[in-house]
Structure 1
Amino acid sequence: MWKEFKKFAMKGNVLDLAIGVIIGAAFGKIISSLVADILTPILGLLLGGLNFSGLTITFGDAVIKYGVFLQSVIDFFIVSFSIFMFIKLLNKLQRKEQEKPPAPPAPSKEEQLLAEIRDLLKQQQGSR
């Protein structure tokens, strides 16, 4: 069982997924900071100093913090758009990589021998 688990854990896809999750978590923190520390204050200024986190509705003893929900929705859209743009860039780079023509293979021994014979024949025809 341990050997099977080790084989599974060391597959390329599992390692790629683990790396993707780690990078995604770090990317998510960056985007969350961008939204919370830069975009939300700017949006608040544009909307007349409105602070989303303070928006609430009170029903009796219950307090509904819909401003926090709005902030989460904005955060989601910005993160989604950022990931979309990042994936679009990666796809563009991969397409360019795939469009490059493959390098011609090195000539085989037979091809090298035939090329030498061709060159010798050209030399003999030129010396006549």
Structure 2
Amino acid sequence: MLKEFKEFAIKGNVVDLAVGVVIGGAFSKIVTSMVNDIIMPLVVTLTGGVNFTYLKVVIKEAHGKDSAVTINYGTFIQNSIDFLIVSFSIFLFIKLINKLKREKKSEIVETELKPSEEVLLLREIRDLLKK
């Protein structure tokens, strides 16, 4: 059973998945920082300084040791905006990666289709020998 586990753990898929999770976590921190530290201050400025997280409806006031019952719709709005910004940022990042992959692939295809000078010279010699 230990041998089977070792084979499973060493397989490329498990290692690829682990690397993806680690990189995803690091990328998540970058995107979260971009949203919280760069984009949201701009959104707050554009909305006149409204901070969505404090918006709420009080259903039951607090009396004594009881805590108030509230619907925190501002937090929901804030999380929705964060989700949209993060999703759009990831979309742009993936789009950039795909563009770079396409450019690299087209370079490879172009190189494969274009014969080298040596091949052209050998073809010329072959054609001359046929005559």
Give the structure-2-normalised TM-score: 0.71
Identity in percent: 53
1:22 is displaced (CA, Å) by 1.0
**Cα distance in 2 for residues equivalent to 1:34 and 1:23:** 17
In the other structure, the counterpart of 1:79 is 86
Q: Which runs of 5+ in 1 are unaligned?
A: 108-114, 123-128
Q: Aligned pairs, how many?
A: 111
1:62 is displaced (CA, Å) by 1.1
Amino acid at match of 1:75: D
Amino acid at match of 1:81: F
The CA RMSD over aligned residues, in Å, is 2.6
In the other structure, the counterpart of 1:111 is none
In the other structure, the counterpart of 1:68 is 75
1:3 paired to 2:3 = yes
Aligned partner of residue 87 in structure 2, secondary structure: helix
Q: Verify the 8 A CA contact 1:41 1:51 in the aligned structure 2.
A: no
Aligned partner of residue 59 in structure 1, secondary structure: strand
Q: Which runs of 5+ in 2 are unaligned?
A: 61-67
1:38 is displaced (CA, Å) by 2.4
1:37 is displaced (CA, Å) by 2.3
**Cα distance in 1 for residues equivalent to 2:79 and 2:104:** 37
Deviations 1:43-86 (A, max 9, x none): 11211110111111111131122111111111111111111112
**Cα distance in 2 for residues equivalent to 1:42 and 1:95:** 34
1:43 paired to 2:50 = no
Asked which structure has the greater CA Rg, the reply is 1
